Chains A and B, each alone.
Chain A
């Protein structure tokens, strides 16, 4: 019986089944990569000549100079404050925004508006938003806070809306059936289901905002970033390294705290 069986070859089907289209895509892809490499002037000669300068630069960073500690401290404290205030604003505003942007809760008209706000807030990286707000409101932490709050709102709004869209609607229906109005339905039917996600995202957001708050100072939006940028400009690389070490330390401490809190939430 076995000998009479004709063996049949089997191969996994290609992701793109048409061989002509498949090969055109491969050839075009490789050709573009070669073109882009040439166009960008990515060559070994340049790397070789830059290497000693990079080594020199690193030499001048050591030892880190903490003599201007009060300036560093003030900058880091400002970054931290910016991050905390911006996070608070965005997690509060994210509640109505995400309810409006959740297709199972919202009505069409409000849904479109809320989704548009989220898309707008998520389209630009914080540094670009900061440039715009510094132009509009002048230098200092104020445009920085607005920048962080705005970009964080997009992030929080989107992820929270997704969490709301995944809730069990049966629980919502049960609360509606008790005669609760819309607000009470959100309070009892929706909020308990997304609360762990909300707290987790809020802590994660503080983490993100703290990192971003050290960067946006470069364009004049307050925080430690401005000091970092200035010290590079003045060739005070040892001060720059001191600032970098402090930033890394703060971020690590934040990371530690947030991972502790989030593991407690499970």
Chain B
């Protein structure tokens, strides 16, 4: 589905954000990306949909080479990748429905977008997705009137209405309380499975990331230092990713899991 090959990102100042990052996703799995702040997690997913321009390397999505695309081809490629953000990034002054339908901007003309004329099937889908995430009846509320958890649900719906082939998720739970964070992670996981698409989820919360992931990628200093199933994540792995610390309280015990 997705293949990332030797992705490099160096800034004009000479600082590097990514060094030779390679991985492949071949099934509809949830991939949690761990790593300390500044390890390059955000840059990695932004290089995939080219919000950040990679310095070199290749990204392929379903056989289409994303790197090197220009203009309309790039916009069309971005439509196939739904993005969910830290701090939600909703258009605060617009309504929930406008925010959801903005996910269809890649499919409508400028003037139709301006006068909010979206095809009926998009509106139908928007209503049913809002209902699916528990926001029935909120469509005319302004985004800035919602709580954090509600906003992130709108963010999820905005990404899904693009009919993406993959979800790129950047710290979806930062700023949310622990319970809401779990609900949001469950929702992302369920919806990705329903739609049969993979999701790459950057996440700081190691426990949460392990609980909802099928696979973990660990990053440190711009490189991928770990790639494997959650059960293979040990204290040594975390030390490799984040540095020396007592991880015994953080990590999910394999033995515990077997008892359950």
Contact = CB atoms under 8 A, between A and B. Distances in A.
Interface of A: 168, 170-171, 173-181, 183-184, 187-189, 192-193, 195-196
Contact of B51 (A171, A176, A187): A176
Nearest to B113: A184
* Size range of the chain B interface in the assembly: 20 to 34
B75 A171 contact: no
Interface string B82-96: 110101011111100
Interface in B122-173: 155, 158, 162, 168
Contact of A179 (B76, B91, B98, B158): B76
B146 to A, nearest CB: 15
A174 B75 contact: no
Contacts of B49: 177
22 contacts: A168-B92, A170-B85, A170-B89, A171-B90, A171-B91, A174-B83, A174-B102, A174-B158, A176-B51, A177-B78, A177-B83, A178-B79, A178-B106, A179-B76, A179-B79, A180-B105, A181-B75, A184-B105, A187-B113, A188-B98, A188-B102, A188-B113
A109 B155 CA distance: 35
A25 to B, nearest CB: 40
A180 B85 contact: no
Interface of B: 49, 51, 72, 75-83, 85, 87, 89-94, 98, 102-106, 110, 113-114, 155, 158, 162, 168
B103 A192 contact: no
B147 to A, nearest CB: 18
B91 A195 contact: no
Given A170-B85, A180-B105, A180-B113, 7 more contacts: A176-B51, A178-B103, A179-B78, A179-B162, A184-B110, A188-B102, A193-B93
Contacts of B92: 168, 171, 192-193
A178 B105 contact: yes
A180 B51 CA distance: 12
A184 B97 CA distance: 17
Chain B CB within 10 Å, residue with most, of A177, A180, A188 = A177
B90 A177 contact: no
Contacts of B94: 188, 192
A180 B81 contact: no
A107 to B, nearest CB: 14
Contact of B89 (A173, A180, A184): A173
B157 to A, nearest CB: 12
Contacts of B90: 171, 174
Contacts of B78: 176-179
A175 B113 CA distance: 12
A179 B81 CA distance: 9
Nearest to A174: B89
A174 B83 CA distance: 7
Contacts of B168: 177
Contacts of B81: 177
A174 B89 CA distance: 6
Nearest to B87: A170
Nearest to A183: B110
Contacts of A173: 51, 85, 89
Chain A CB within 10 Å, residue with most, of B51, B106, B155 = B106
Nearest to A192: B93
A94 to B, nearest CB: 18
A181 B90 CA distance: 18
